[in-house]
Amino acid sequence: MRHELILLAALSAALTGCFSAPRPPELFVSTVPSGASCTVGGAGQPVAVVEETPGIALLDPAQRELEVRCRRHAFNEAVATVAAFPVGDRLDYIVAGRPHYEFPGTVTLVMTPSSAVGPR
């Protein structure tokens, strides 16, 4: 009986690791030049904020397309759309906790100087 309980406890611990909640997808956001503040959102709602680039945004795994909007003083606003792409199969998602969709790991936005800023 004792050996069965030990085996059951070991099996339970092993299965807990297999079925743990997947980590939320991450997106590395950078701008050229760096130092911009960026909002990542979908369906008109912000999902994550990167206070100053470069930085990492934790994404909502339910979203399939997100907009990255960056602002920096003396530069025009920069906007990019990132879309999730399918990976693996349904079994990977259910058994191993891997996401069914992934976002690209990095997005870089190029900021252009604003013409509204006067001479220094």
pTM: 0.70
82 contacts 68 by C-beta, under 8 angstroms:
yes
* Confidence (pLDDT) at 39: 97
Residues 14-33: pLDDT tens digits? 555 555 556 778 999 999 99
Residues 28-60: pLDDT tens digits? 999 999 999 999 998 778 999 999 999 999 988
Residues 72-95: pLDDT tens digits? 999 999 999 999 887 765 555 555
* Confidence (pLDDT) at 115: 86
59 contacts 84 by C-beta, under 8 angstroms:
no
C-alpha triplet 61, 83, 55: angle, nearest 5°: 70
